[in-house]
C-alpha cells in the first residue's frame, strides 16, 4: 500500500517552498518520521519526514521545484523494506530520537552547548556579505560538521553544483586516505593556475529562496523607508574591565562567557524605554508602540543571513541574554532554527565587528524602524581631561526610519546606549 508524503505546514504566512535536496531515493528503506527531503523556505530549511516505515516509491517533484503546502511530493510503500534495510532504518530512527531528546533538553544542555561567548556569534551587518557561502541542506550540513570539512573545498554534483551528502562522504573518505596515499606516492607536480594558461571561467548559480528573500526585503527597506544613519564612538574600557574582573565567576556560575552582546542588549533596552519611537513601527497611518523589547540578532547561517528573536530582552539577566544569543548562533550554524525563532522582533543589533568591520550603515529589518550596528574595537588616541590617551574604541551606528524617528530622538537613543556602555552602572540603576 502506498502512502503519500505531503509538504507540511511551514509556518505563519509561508505557503510554498523549494525542494532543496532529496535525502532518500526510490527503493531506499525509510523509518517512520525519518527525513526524506529538505525544503528551503524564505527563512529556514525544513525537513519532510516519512509518515510511515517502508520503502521510497515515486518522487513526484525534482530538486529546485517550487511546492505548495499540502502538495504530494513522494510516495512510500509500507512494509516492503528489503531484508537488512529495515534494521538499518530502525537504527537511524533510534539515533534521531536520541538526537531529539538531546535537543529537547536544551534548557539544561544549553549552557554547555553555548560555551562560545555571545560576542563571538557570527553576526552579519546590513544584510550580510556572505556571497561566498555554500548552499547546503540540513543533512549535508550535519555531514560537513560531523567530518570537520570545509564545504568550499568540495565539488558539488547536485543540481546547480549543490553539495549532496554523497559528495561530503566521498570527501571525508578521501581525507582519511590522504595520509596513507601521501606516504606511498610521490607528490604531484605543482599545477599551473588556470589564469596563467589564459583560461577564464564563470560560474552561474541560482539564488536560494532565502537569498532571494533577503534581497527583496533589503531593497524594500530602502524603497519604503526614509533611511538615515547617525554615528557615535564608544569607549569600551569599562566593559572590558568588567568582563576581565568577573569572567571567571560569571562562567563558573552560569556556564557561559560574559560577552559584549549582553551589555549592548541591556543598553539598547534602556534607550528604547526612554525613546519609544525607536522601538515602534508604522502600520498604515498609525504608529505602533511596544512596552517590551524583542531583540532581533542578525547571525550568519550557511544559506545566508537569519535574524532570530530574543523575546522580552528588557526583562532578562545578562546570563539569560548570553545563553539565548549563543544558542541561536549555534543553531544557525547547524541549520536547526525554526520559523517561530525568527518571527516578530522590535529592534535589531547587527555585529559586523566580528568580521573586522570598522564602520557601516546597517539597513533596518522591516517592519522595524531602527537597527544598531556594532563594529570592531581598536585602540585609538582620544582626549581625556586635557590629555591624549589611548583607549579601546568602537564606532556605533544607528540606522533609522526618518518617517517615524526624528533626528533628535535617534541621536538621543544612541547617546544613551553609548553612556550605558561607558558607565555600566547606569544599566543597574536604570539611568
One domain, residues 162 and 215: no
More confident site: 101 or 232: 232
One domain, residues 398 and 256: yes
More confident site: 12 or 248: 248
One domain, residues 238 and 326: yes
Q: Mean pLDDT check: name the lowest of 6-15, 283-292, 318-327.
A: 6-15
Measured distance CA(420)–CA(136) in Å, rounded: 41
One domain, residues 164 and 74: no
One domain, residues 17 and 66: yes
One domain, residues 144 and 232: no
Q: What is the pLDDT of residues 343-353, one digit of tens each?
A: 889 999 999 88
**How high is the pLDDT of residue 125?**
37
Mean pLDDT value across the chain: 81
One domain, residues 80 and 224: no
**How high is the pLDDT of residue 160?**
62
Q: What is the pLDDT of residues 169-227, one digit of tens each?
A: 888 888 776 655 544 455 555 555 555 567 888 888 877 777 787 788 888 888 999 99
Residue 189 in any domain: the answer is no
One domain, residues 305 and 232: yes
Residue 310 in any domain: the answer is yes
Q: Is the pLDDT of residue 229 over 50?
A: yes
pLDDT band at 250 (very low <50, low <70, confident <90, very high): very high
Which domain CATH number covers 145? 4.10.320.10
**How high is the pLDDT of residue 199?**
83
**How high is the pLDDT of residue 407?**
95
Q: Which domain holds residue 147?
A: 136-179
Q: What is the pLDDT of residues 18-33, one digit of tens each?
A: 888 888 888 889 888 8
**How high is the pLDDT of residue 109?**
42
More confident site: 406 or 97: 406
Q: Is the pLDDT of residue 44 over 60?
A: yes
Residue 169 in any domain: the answer is yes
Measured distance CA(168)–CA(164) in Å, rounded: 7
Structural domain total, the chain: 3
Q: Is the pLDDT of residue 335 over 50?
A: yes
Residue 37 in any domain: the answer is yes
Distances in whole angstroms, Cα of residue 235 to Cα of each of 251, 272, 376, 377, 385 = 24, 21, 12, 9, 14
Q: What is the pLDDT of residues 376-425, one digit of tens each?
A: 999 999 999 999 999 999 999 999 999 999 999 999 999 999 999 999 98
Write out the catalytic residue numbers: 402, 406
Biggest alpha carbon–alpha carbon distance for the chain: 85
Q: Is the pLDDT of residue 119 over 50?
A: no
One domain, residues 353 and 421: yes
* Mean pLDDT in residue range 303-312: 84
Measured distance CA(46)–CA(23) in Å, rounded: 12
One domain, residues 99 and 240: no
Q: Is the distance from CB of 344 to CB of 311 less than 8 angstroms?
A: yes
Cell triple for 398:
544607528
**How high is the pLDDT of residue 234?**
96
Closest CA to 156 of 148, 143, 146: 143
Which domain CATH number covers 398? 3.30.559.10
Check residue 327 and report its DSSP letter. Answer: H
Share of the chain above pLDDT 90, in %: 37
Closest CA to 346 of 289, 270, 408: 289
Question: Which strands make up the sheet holding 54-59, listed edge to edge?
Answer: 2-6, 72-78, 54-59, 29-30
Check residue 50 and report its DSSP letter. Answer: P
In this prediction the pTM is: 0.64
- The H or E element containing residue 361 is none
Read out DSSP for 159-195?
GGG---HHHHHHHHHHHHHHHHHHHHSPPPPPPPPGG
One domain, residues 291 and 337: yes
Q: Mean pLDDT check: name the lowest of 56-65, 103-112, 375-384.
A: 103-112
Residue 15 in any domain: the answer is yes
More confident site: 36 or 124: 36
- Tell me the residue ranges of DSSP E strands in 240-346: 281-283, 286-288, 295-297, 299-301, 304-306, 309-310
Q: Is the pLDDT of residue 14 over 90?
A: no
Which domain CATH number covers 57? 2.40.50.100
One domain, residues 162 and 84: no
Amino acid at each position: 500500500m502506498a502512502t503519500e508524503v505531503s509538504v507540511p505546514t511551514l509556518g505563519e504566512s509561508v505557503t510554498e517552498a523549494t525542494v532543496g535536496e532529496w535525502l532518500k531515493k526510490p527503493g531506499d528503506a525509510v523509518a517512520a518520521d525519518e527525513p526524506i527531503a529538505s525544503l528551503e523556505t524564505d527563512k529556514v530549511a525544513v525537513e519532510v519526514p516519512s509518515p510511515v516505515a517502508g520503502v521510497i516509491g515515486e518522487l513526484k517533484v525534482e530538486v529546485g521545484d517550487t511546492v505548495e503546502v499540502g502538495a504530494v511530493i513522494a510516495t512510500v510503500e509500507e512494509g516492503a523494506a528489503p531484508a537488512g534495510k529495515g534494521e538499518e532504518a530502525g537504527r537511524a530512527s533510534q539515533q534521531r530520537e536520541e538526537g531529539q531528546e538531546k535537543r529537547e533538553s536544551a534548557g539544561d544542555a544549553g549552557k554547555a552547548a553555548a560555551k562560545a561567548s555571545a560576542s563571538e556569534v557570527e553576526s552579519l551587518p546590513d544584510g550580510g556579505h556572505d556571497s561566498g557561502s555554500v548552499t547546503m541542506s540540513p543533512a549535508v550540513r550535519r555531514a560537513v560538521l560531523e567530518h570537520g570539512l570545509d564545504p568550499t573545498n568540495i565539488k558539488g554534483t547536485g543540481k546547480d553544483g549543490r553539495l549532496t551528502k554523497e559528495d561530503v562522504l566521498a570527501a571525508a573518505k578521501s581525507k582519511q586516505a590522504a595520509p596513507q596515499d601521501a606516504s606511498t606516492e610521490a607528490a604531484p607536480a605543482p599545477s599551473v593556475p588556470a589564469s596563467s594558461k589564459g583560461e577564464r571561467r564563470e560560474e552561474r548559480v541560482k539564488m536560494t529562496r532565502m537569498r532571494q528573500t533577503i534581497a527583496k526585503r533589503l531593497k524594500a527597506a530602502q524603497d519604503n523607508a526614509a533611511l538615515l544613519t547617525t554615528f557615535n564612538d564608544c569607549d569600551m574600557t569599562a566593559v572590558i574591565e568588567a568582563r576581565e574582573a568577573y569572567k571567571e565567576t560569571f562562567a563558573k556560575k552560569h556556564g557561559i562567557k560574559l560577552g559584549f552582546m549582553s551589555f549592548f542588549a541591556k543598553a539598547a533596552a534602556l534607550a528604547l524605554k526612554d525613546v519609544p519611537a525607536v522601538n515602534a513601527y508604522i502600520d498604515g497611518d498609525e504608529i505602533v508602540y511596544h512596552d517590551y523589547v524583542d531583540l532581533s540578532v542578525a547571525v550568519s547561517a550557511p544559506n545566508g543571513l537569519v535574524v532570530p528573536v530574543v523575546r522580552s530582552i528588557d526583562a532578562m539577566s545578562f546570563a539569560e541574554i548570553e545563553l539565548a544569543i549563543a544558542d541561536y548562533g549555534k543553531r544557525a550554524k547547524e541549520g536547526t532554527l525554526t520559523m517561530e525563532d525568527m518571527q516578530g522582533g522590535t529592534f535589531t543589533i547587527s555585529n559586523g565587528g566580528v568580521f573586522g568591520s570598522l564602520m557601516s550603515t546597517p539597513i533596518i529589518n522591516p517592519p522595524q524602524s531602527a537597527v544598531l550596528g556594532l563594529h570592531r574595537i581598536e585602540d585609538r588616541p582620544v582626549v581625556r581631561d586635557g590629555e591624549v590617551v589611548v583607549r579601546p574604541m568602537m564606532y556605533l551606528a544607528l540606522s533609522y526610519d526618518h518617517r517615524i524617528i526624528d533626528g533628535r530622538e535617534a541621536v538621543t537613543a544612541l547617546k544613551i546606549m553609548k553612556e550605558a556602555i561607558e558607565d555600566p552602572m547606569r544599566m543597574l540603576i536604570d539611568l
